[in-house]
Every structure is written in structure tokens, then in C-alpha cells.
Chain A
Amino acid sequence: MLVAGIDVGATYTKVVLCDDGQVVGRSLLPTGFNFARAAERGLSAALESAGLRREDVGYVAATGYGRHMVPFRDLALTDLTAQAWAIHRLYPDARTILDIGGQNVKAIRVDERGRVRAFRLNDKCAAGSGAFLEKTMRYMGYTAADIARLAEAAQDPAVVSSVCAVFAESEVINHLVAGRSPEDVCAGAIVALAGRAGQLVKRLRGEPRYVLTGGLTRVPLMRRCLEQDLRVSFVVPPDEEGVYAAALGAAQLAQERLRRTAQRATA
């Protein structure tokens, strides 16, 4: 049966369609302010990519911040559980997952069966999340798509020390006024972000193997900073699977649930 995992994140909505354990379609769209509509649009886009129809979908699992706002969901679960499930299937020996998303940074420790054993999240402040980086890029006249290119071209990353997003923005402005290049400021913001994300892994008492997921896996400097700070190696799932990990996990859990239901029915 075709199942859909929908991760309604604060910034992006990711959808993964699975049929008998195989990914057959996926989509990634900005969430906007209407979570229900974002889920609907994301599902339509994923179905279109797979050449399938809405009525083919037999079960929908919603995850992410907007999970409770998806009116056609059959199941709602947190992105922590969904992500842990998906990463465990990709890397059965993974024990620590660091996910850097738009509004949320998550460090998750999982056991040998992919169950969440402990987690640490960034607090209410967004200074440690991708949104801060996006805002910095916007201020400098760039978009999120330019982050990786700019960061790689940096000569000497500017120091962004504040733990508050608002004060950090002032620091960014000061750097630009002082003549620092956008490349150096961008790289400085990534170094700061990596420092805060790394702190969550330290608090979690992370164990190998480490996996890095979330939108910022597209930025090589982020991974390098984390590896240098934590003195560990991170695996980044290929083909952007790290970006879709929560949606994929939701879809896999949906299939698992269907399988168990069918088992109970035949027993």
C-alpha cells in the first residue's frame, strides 16, 4: 500500500511517498503560514513527481511542528521519533543524530533498535537554528541557496559571539559596516551556529556513530566545524536523505503500523 510521510517543519514541508518500503516520490516546499495547506500542496507535489493520484494513498503519517494541523493525517508523531527510525534504517550502527532545521536543532541519542533514548533541543531562542542563518543571508542580499558557496569562499570567518539572534544580527551589521566581506560574515554565522549545535551533542553525551541531518547538511563548512569542535566524524546521508529523514521515518512508521494491523487481523 502507498503511504505518505509528511514533515510539516517550521520552514519547509517535506513529503515522502513509500510503496512496499521503497521511496517512490518526494517533495520539498516552503511551509508558509498555513500548515494544512502546506501539507496538501506538499502531498500533491510528491504525488505528481511519482505519477500517482491522491486516492492511491492508503495511510498518512504527519510529523514536524505542524503535525497536528494536517487534517487528513492517520497518525501524528514527533519528528524526533520519525527521524530516529529513518536514520536507524539507513545506518543501523548510528547512535547520535544531530539535526539542524529552520527553527529547531535536535540532538538525539538512539539505541540499537532505533528507539529514542535521550534528546536535547535548542531553547526558545532561534540563534542556534537555520532561521538565524537565513536572516543573516537576507540582510546581506543573498538567499539560503548561496550559503554553501559563500561560506566556502571565506578567507577569515568573522566572530559572531552572541547567544541571542537579535544581538547576533547587530554583530553581523557591525561586521559589514567595518568592511568585512559577506563571505566572512556568512562563514562566521555558520561557525557560531555549529558551536551551539555542538553544545547540544555534548550535553547529550553523544556516542558514535554520528549522523548529521537537516537542511544545513548542504553546507560542507557546517560539517567541518562540528567535526572540529566535537572531534568526531559525522556521516551525512546521500541524496539529501538527511533533509527528508523525518518524512521518511514517518512513512516507514506508517508502513510498520499497517503491517502490525494486518498481522493482528490475520492472527
Chain B
Amino acid sequence: MSTSAQEILGVSRREGRRLMELWWQRMTEAAQTGHPTAYVFVMAPLSELLLTFDFVINAPEITSLQTAIRGQSQAYIQLAEDYGFSPDICGYVKADVGVQLKEGEHPYGRVPRPALVVTNNVCNTYLKWAEFWEHYYGCPVFTFDLPGWRGRESLREGTEAFRETFENDCRYVLGQLRELIEVCERITGKSFDIDRFREHLREANRMAELYHAVCDTNRHIPAPFNAPLEGVTYQGIANLYRGTPEGTRYFELALEEMRERVRLGMAAVPDERFRLVLVGTACYSHFRRFVELFSSWGGVFVHSTYMVFAGGGFVPGFGYDLGRPLESFAEQMVRATYWGWTGAMFYQQEWLDRVVRDWKVDGICFHGVKSCRTTSTGLPDVREWMRVQRNVPGLFIQSDLVDPRLWSDAQIKNRVDAFFEALAAHKAAVGR
């Protein structure tokens, strides 16, 4: 193996760690200095616009997830429940509330107070989550009303009905963007610099291409990366460094590494036997265990819906038109809402159908999240559709995003083992 090959292998993990540490450093400094911080969500992060005003970006879904990866989410969740939150409420919300109640103290650093919260209606819980910060800090909250997918027929691209709906939706979102710009100017005292904004869009265009190219490397057999494992870093960088040269550089390196792994035939899971898609998230309080339950059978996740709806909302084939930045930004938000955020959550069978074919998938794991009805509703229907229409076996397991109390190892292991025993027979029967 050449020196350059040795250097590139593992670079996405090393660089990912470095960038996440750098982000925490910026967050902690902002907490100390009072530098304006904007809270955003992974569905509609708006980083390109907010970076134009020099906001530090905080994505609380990511900080909550990290409390679980560090094995500390339960303490934060219980703090939120002591405060009055019900056990049924989203684990991400409660882990974050716990962090806020501890004045931003987090295993990785300190979370700054919000100078601005930008929320949206793609997830109902986002609205209530933002309400908490508004009450707790008295900070301004800007709520985006994003028009989602209204059914396949009304939004069939290429039709007159689609064109009219899409144009109306873009105008609606553009109006809201202009309102948000005024709010940002008021908070930061800075004027909107459209040329700076254009530069962030240029970087985001490049990053989007690279993000999709990285995902595409997993079409190769064996798959060079495991979607929940490496994917969680990709998602983090795609949200927190979206529209920045650092983010673009990261995905250049990640792509280089994955191509090198493909060239060398390096598998994410040694002796790959089963290629899977994960619908939903992993359980981050048992992250390694979650992945190991599958990899111990030679199962690799070649893709996940989470990489789509929480991966920055990069719409395949879409690039910002730098000649009309704001209008194009609105269009991207509408398209991402149709395709990535509401589409990938509620009309999964179309996306899954394509991924099963193109990524040569043997089976699908549906992970129902007990504290999230938004992502869990409809999973059994999609599983049934894929089984009946496409003869693709599906496994349904339930636990949580970050709440370790909802993980039942023996139950989950039994289901996973039985799934693989059946999948082996199925693969033999269909001749794969």
C-alpha cells in the first residue's frame, strides 16, 4: 500500500473528529463571550444564510445525540423529566432540556444560549421545542412554515399542477426568508451581504455533489462504509459545516477515502453477507451494540433514511443558481421539504425501492423510535409494501433515539437473529 493510500484511509474519521471538536470549541467560546448563536434543526438548517451573519450554529439534535454516544443521555433526560417533561416526549428534546437546565454543560463542551431560534413545521415537536427555549431564555423564535408534500399525484414533477404548486410554495418561502433576513440584521447589527451568501451557496453546491458521491460509493460490493456509523459523522458535518470550505474539504477527503477503500476492496463489515438499509435512526445510547448486532451476522447498512432527511437536505441533482441566490435558496428549501424531509419520512417506499435496486439491498431494518411518532408512523405499512410488492424482507425493532431505558437487548437480539436466519434462507431461495 502506498503512503498516500495509508494516509487517506481513516481520514474521514480523523477529520470528522477534528471538525466536531473545532465546532465544540466555537460553541464553548460563544458561550463564554456571548457571540450570537442560532439554534437550528437538521431538517432545514439554513446554515448558508445564518453563516452570512456570522452566527455560530447550534443543532440541538446533534448535541442530544452526542450525550447518548457519551453514555450520559439518561441523566439529562431524567433532569428534564424532573422538570416536568413526560416520559413519552422526544428523547432529543429532553436530553437538550437537561443540558439547558445545567446551564449548557455538555460532555463535549458548553452549549451557548440562543440569540435566535429558527424552527419549522416539518416536525411538530420542533415547534414545542422552540417554545421551551423562547420561554426559558426569552430569545426570538422565527418559525418557518414549510409546505410539505401533499400526496404523489398533486406533486408529480413535470405537470402543470406541480409547476403551479411549486412556484406558489417558492414565493411563500421566499417571503419568509426576507422576513428572517430582517430579524438577523436586527439581532447582529449586520447588513445582509448577498455576495457572501452566494459564496456559501457555492460551497454548499460542491458539498452536495460530494455528499451524494460518498453515498454512491456504497453501491459497491463490499460496501466501504456502514451507514449508521460513518453516516452520523457525515450528517454532522453536512449540517454544521454546510456552505463552508472546511465542510467541502471534508467531503472531498471522505470521497477520496471511500474510493480508495473500494479500489482496495476494503469492506466496512468483513465478510459482508447481507446488504441492508436502515429506516429511521440508530439507538445512540447503544450505538456500537446496535451496529454490532447486524455486523456480527455480516450485515452492513449500505444506506439509511436518516442520511437523507437529516443529512442537510441535499436534493440529488439540485444546485443553487448563483445568479439568483435568494430565490434559488427558497427553491432548494421547497424541494428539500418535498423530497428529503417530508418525502423521505412519509413516502419512503419510493426512495427505498430505488435504493434496494441500486444499492443491491437484501433486507430492510425498520427502527421504530418509541419517543418519536413522527418518524415511526407508517413504518409497518412501508414494510408490508416492500414485502408484498418487491419481495424484500423487513425487520421491525423498537427502542429509542437516546433513551437507554427503552432498549431491551434480549428482545432486540432475538428479532435480529431470527431476521438473519430467515434472510439467509430467503437469499438462497431467490438465488442471491
Contacts and interface: CB of A to CB of B under 8 A. Distances in A.
Interface string B411-432: 1001101100110011001000
B1 interface: no
Contacts of A115: 422, 425-426, 429
B125 interface: no
A78 B421 contact: yes
Contacts, number: 44
B380 interface: yes
Nearest to B380: A203
A77 B406 CA distance: 25
Nearest to B420: A78
Nearest to B421: A81
A68 to B, nearest CB: 8
B3 interface: no
Contacts of B422: 80-81, 115-119
Interface string B123-153: 0000000000000000000000000000000
Contacts of A123: 398, 411
Interface residues of A, number: 17
Interface in A94-148: 104, 115-119, 121, 123-124
Interface centre among B384, B421, B429 (most CB of A within 10 A): B421
B190 interface: no
A59 interface: no
Contact of A119 (B406, B411, B418): B418
A117 B426 CA distance: 8
A65 B410 CA distance: 7
A124 B421 contact: no
A115 B426 CA distance: 8
A65 B418 contact: no
B408 A124 contact: yes
Given A65-B410, A123-B398, A124-B411, A116 B380 contact: no
A40 B205 CA distance: 63
Task: Label chain B's interface by main secondary structure.
Answer: helix
A80 B417 CA distance: 9
A79 B429 CA distance: 21
Contact of B414 (A65, A117, A203): A65
Contact of B415 (A121, A203, A205): A121
B398 A80 contact: no
Contact of A78 (B380, B418, B426): B418
Interface centre among B384, B406, B408, B417 (most CB of A within 10 A): B417
Interface string A54-93: 0000000000010000000000011111000000000000
B387 interface: yes
A170 to B, nearest CB: 18
Nearest to A124: B408
Contacts of B418: 78, 80-81, 116, 119
A128 B410 CA distance: 17
Contacts of B415: 119, 121
B414 A121 contact: yes
A104 B412 CA distance: 12
Interface in B300-324: none
Contact of B387 (A78, A80, A118): A118
Interface string B188-199: 000000000000
Given A115-B429, A124-B398, A80 B421 contact: yes
Contacts of B421: 77-78, 80-81, 116
Contacts of B408: 124
Interface centre among A65, A79, A124 (most CB of B within 10 A): A124
A73 to B, nearest CB: 14
A93 B393 CA distance: 22
A116 B426 CA distance: 9
Contacts of B425: 115-116
Contacts of A116: 418, 421-422, 425
Nearest to A114: B425
A58 B74 CA distance: 47
A131 B129 CA distance: 39
Nearest to A76: B417
A107 B406 CA distance: 23
Contacts of A117: 422, 426
Contacts of B398: 123-124
B393 to A, nearest CB: 8
Contacts of A78: 414, 417-418, 421
Nearest to B406: A124
B296 to A, nearest CB: 11
Nearest to B419: A119
Interface centre among B398, B411, B415, B418 (most CB of A within 10 A): B418
Nearest to B425: A115
Contacts of B417: 77-78
A100 to B, nearest CB: 16
B306 to A, nearest CB: 22
Contacts of B387: 118
A78 B418 CA distance: 6
Q: 9 smallest A-B Cβ distances: which pairs?
A: A116-B422, A80-B418, A78-B418, A115-B425, A81-B421, A124-B408, A78-B417, A65-B410, A78-B421
Interface of B: 380, 384, 387, 393, 398, 406, 408, 410-411, 414-415, 417-418, 421-422, 425-426, 429
Given A77-B417, A80-B414, A80-B421, 15 more contacts: A65-B414, A77-B421, A78-B414, A78-B418, A115-B422, A115-B426, A116-B418, A116-B421, A116-B422, A118-B393, A119-B415, A121-B415, A123-B398, A124-B406, A124-B408
18 contacts: A77-B417, A77-B421, A78-B414, A78-B417, A80-B421, A81-B418, A81-B421, A81-B422, A104-B414, A115-B422, A116-B418, A116-B421, A117-B426, A118-B393, A118-B422, A121-B415, A123-B398, A205-B384
